[in-house]
Amino acid sequence: MAQDYFDIAALEEAINATLPGATMFVRDVDLPESMAAMYTDGLIIREKAYIDASCRVMGMMTSHRYAILLNHMVDLGEFEQDTNWGLCVAQRDSHFKVLGQHTYDGKTMIVLLHLPDDERWKLFENTRINIEEEFFDSCCIRFENKCNEPVIPELATKDWLGRCSFPLGMDDEGNLWDLE
């Protein structure tokens, strides 16, 4: 009989590659409540497409905000042509762990931790570490302080909202993408 074991050293290495320097990027979207409810604590999702997000965090005009925590987003701001979106992009086929949802004043934030872009994402499937809760709590405070502030005009344009209109980790009908 094969013995199952958990590789603590591999998890520590993955945590050290994932968490230091993690920054919050945002992506605002209007989600049906049925889709939003699918983002349960600890769920791992995979997004098939490249993920546009902004490093500019202020108010929101949508019902939901993805707060994406990661330390390896590609900053494309220097290539923007008079859009001033603070455009940053995550790789296609990225994996994320849902750290939780927080609703404040009728608006909901979904906190996602971007996992390593290799097989190490699997180490986070059945693991909860204390710092995830600290990240989530910090995001909630920031969300409450920012969500009712004025919306950044560049992030309220039809073009930007269109780029961010699709749900992460699922198709338009709410079917989760396969993790592999």
In this predicted structure, what is the pLDDT of residue 33? Answer: 95
In this predicted structure, what is the pLDDT of residue 117? Answer: 85
Beta-bridge mates of residue 114? 96
Q: How confident is the model at residue 3 (pLDDT cuts 50, 70, 90)?
A: very low
Per-residue three-class SS string for 99-152? EEEEEECCEEEEEEEECCCCHHHHHHCCCCCHHHHHHHHHHHHHHHHHCCCCCC
**pTM higher than 0.75:** yes
Average pLDDT over residues 91-95: 94
Q: How confident is the model at residue 126 (pLDDT cuts 50, 70, 90)?
A: confident
Residue 168 DSSP SS3: coil
Q: Please write the tens of the pLDDT for every residue from 142-164.
A: 999 999 999 999 999 999 999 99
In this predicted structure, what is the pLDDT of residue 53? Answer: 96
Q: Please write the tens of the pLDDT for every residue from 35-46.
A: 999 999 999 999
State percent of the chain over pLDDT 90: 72
Q: Cβ distance 96 to 169 under 8 Å?
A: yes
Average pLDDT over residues 24-44: 96
Cα atoms found within 13 Å of the Cα of residue 66, Cβ hemisphere only = 30
